[in-house]
Amino acid sequence: MTLIKSISGIRGTIGGPTGDTLNPLDIVKFVTAYATFIERREERGERREGERRESSRRIVVGRDARISGEMVKNVVCGTLMGYGYDVINIGLATTPTTELAVRMSGADGGIIITASHNPRQWNALKLLNSEGEFLNKEDGNEVLRIAEAEDFQYADVDHLGKYIEDNTFDERHIQSVLDLKLVDREAIRKAGFRVCVDAINSVGGVILPGLLQALGVDYEILNGEPNGDFAHNPEPLEKNLQGIMGRMREGGFDLGIVVDPDVDRLAFICEDGTMFGEEYTLVSVADYILSHQPGNTVSNLSSTRALRDVTEKYGGQYTAAAVGEVNVTTKMKEVGAVIGGEGNGGVIYPESHYGRDALVGIALFLSSLAQKGMKASELRKTFPNYFIAKNRIDLTPSTDVDAILVKVKEMFANEQVNDIDGVKIDFPDKWVHLRKSNTEPIIRVYSEAHTMEEADALGKQIMDIVYKMQG
């Protein structure tokens, strides 16, 4: 498996030749490039707007429970210390916990060791700035350039970094959620909820019991042992969740809660065992927030139109961003969004921090259910109903994808077209979004309509047009 390098970090499978997998030598090179990038920014006095300006010479490291996590963590921490940075190792921690730990500790940055929803043989390094947010495109590309140049200078014996373990950040993360104004702890406690949680053998099993106990929620944990040996495909999609769906159908629960291995994505299951819909995680939380605090919202181009509908219902303005969390957070700051995220179950609530956070999503969703006195299935019926079809067009490596997208844009010039990330065509009652993959010769084709049949037909209509262009 080719080692995948991007502006957000590197990822790959464990084991195999250097340059082709995620292995110790490539980890050392990439971590050193990141440390060099941080140091050079400090020397130049460069910071993104809103970032801290003083240097602490500290980097936070957190990891999910993947089998390879201990090995990768040791290499990462040793490399940072060898470069002269103190390491704050927060141990098994969610992605949002690590993001918050950077801010709370006043560190210069952070490295999250997680491959998110990828299978057990994968791992990855995700890079954070001093605000605990992902690097933007410019910064990420600079790290990649430094890694290729390999112009590294390590610390001498008198300037090696120190190793610090701090296991307090789970508790501090939970407390920060409880302190949010719109988390209605009293209403949740009075509702007497009982929930079933699929923690997919990772850090969700470590932190979610503490959150639920603090909220006064009774719970049962499935796949709670954080051993990284995932009980099923870890992506929180319906096809992978038959175990918890079956448990929900047995009765006795008000809600099913599903997270991915690093707990930044969140999916709900209704009390009757049906999916609430991962696209509707953000929609439901946004509806609750906007009912108390009207304002603007943001999601990416491939997310459901239901967020736009809900936003406009409360008099706010919806804006679409390019796909990618950093693109969503950047746009949220530009438009002053009060809530945003991604349709894959990613909730970003600025009152907490600019990162997808399943803990925040859980607390706000339970607050909404408690205040409205509704079952999850009843709440789901209050939102506009859309269906998204996901297809792909396989191309030859020589295909000029950009030229194809330009032609598609020209063909639909009379419709509302957005080309900030591929081409999205908005029709009055449906949309289709084409964007090229950064890692393989394909075009992803997402389409949405009021029925799955209509959504799939729209996607295939556009696919046929592209195939004809290829001859």
pLDDT in tens, 13-72: 998 888 889 999 999 999 999 999 999 988 877 665 556 556 789 999 999 999 999 999
CA pair distance 207, 171, nearest whole angstrom: 8
CA distances from 164 to 94, 98, 126, 411 (A): 18, 15, 20, 58
Instruction: Supply the pTM of this predicted model.
Output: 0.95
The pLDDT value recorded for residue 421 is 94
Interhelix angle for 279-292 vs 306-313, to 10°? 10
Contact predicate 110/99, CB 8 Å: yes
Token match 């495109």: residue? 137
Kindly write down the DSSP assignment for every residue of 112-132, as one continuous string.
EE--TTS-TTEEEEEEE-TTS
The pLDDT value recorded for residue 9 is 87
Contact predicate 105/57, CB 8 Å: no
CA pair distance 338, 343, nearest whole angstrom: 16
Contact predicate 282/276, CB 8 Å: no
The token duo for 90 is 């927060």
The pLDDT value recorded for residue 20 is 86
In 10 A of CB 260, how many CB atoms?
28
pLDDT less than 50: residues of the chain? none
Contact predicate 8/96, CB 8 Å: no
In 10 A of CB 122, how many CB atoms?
22
The token duo for 412 is 């639909």
Kindly write down the DSSP assignment for every residue of 295-363, as one continuous string.
-EEEEETTS-THHHHHHHHTT--EEEE-SSHHHHHHHHHHHTEEEEEETTTEEE-TTT-SSB-HHHHHH
Over its C-alpha atoms, the chain yields an Rg (Å, rounded) of 22
Say what the alpha-carbon torsion angle 320, 323, 326, 330 is, to the nearest 10 degrees.
-20
CA pair distance 289, 338, nearest whole angstrom: 8
Residues with catalytic annotation? 116
